[in-house]
Amino acid sequence: MSRPMTRVLLILAGPTVWDAEGRLCGSHSLPLSDEAPGMIRALADSIPHAVSAVYTNRNDEACDQAAKIVAGKFSLRVRDSEALDSISLGLWQGLTCEELRFRFPTIFPAWEEDALAVQPPEGESVQEAAERIRQGLRKILRRNRGVCIALVMRPMAMRLAAGLLRKESILDIARHLHDPLPMETIDVPDVAPRDLSD
């Protein structure tokens, strides 16, 4: 007999103006760009099944706006989880990649090449962010067994969550940290919350 599964929809909260300008947002709160709500509505409309809960970090304006769009489609209220916040990039937030390569000619290219090897100045390491998101996912999965839930997140946080839910190694997760996804669907066995430790 197959085990019950929790279906997790990871939905991108974006783009913001900084995304469009090629600036690193990190955990800096910004509103959605003008075109983003329509894109998120189209994503929400493409979901073929009912969603039982929508979670996001409501302190992030783009996440809150996007989550309200998704929740509105299913007549739900948005549930808050600060653990789903994006990685804090400290002093790098708001700068373009070109500006960062000029100001941090050694450390920034090293971070682009291997995000595990470098912690942004006054920011958060990938390992720290992964552990925070892992703990948040455990709580959310414990409360939502056998249903479909949506997690609305910024790009790097979404990549971390996807990797953790698939039980990928932190090395594999870090390799794809900079590759954005608009939406991802992952089925998680109901025993998985305690298995999100590796």
Helix, strand or coil, per DSSP, at residue 60: coil
Q: Quick one: pLDDT at residue 1?
A: 47
34: left (phi over 0), alpha (psi -120 to 50) or beta: alpha
Q: Looking at the DSSP assignment, which residues form a beta bridge with residue 152?
A: 11, 56
Q: What is the pLDDT of residues 130-171, one digit of tens each?
A: 999 999 999 999 999 999 999 999 999 999 999 999 999 999
Q: Looking at the DSSP assignment, which residues form a beta bridge with residue 38?
A: none
Amino acid at the residue 36: A
Q: Rounded to an integer, what distance in angstroms lies between the CA atom of residue 91 and that of residue 49?
A: 41
Whole-structure pTM value: 0.93
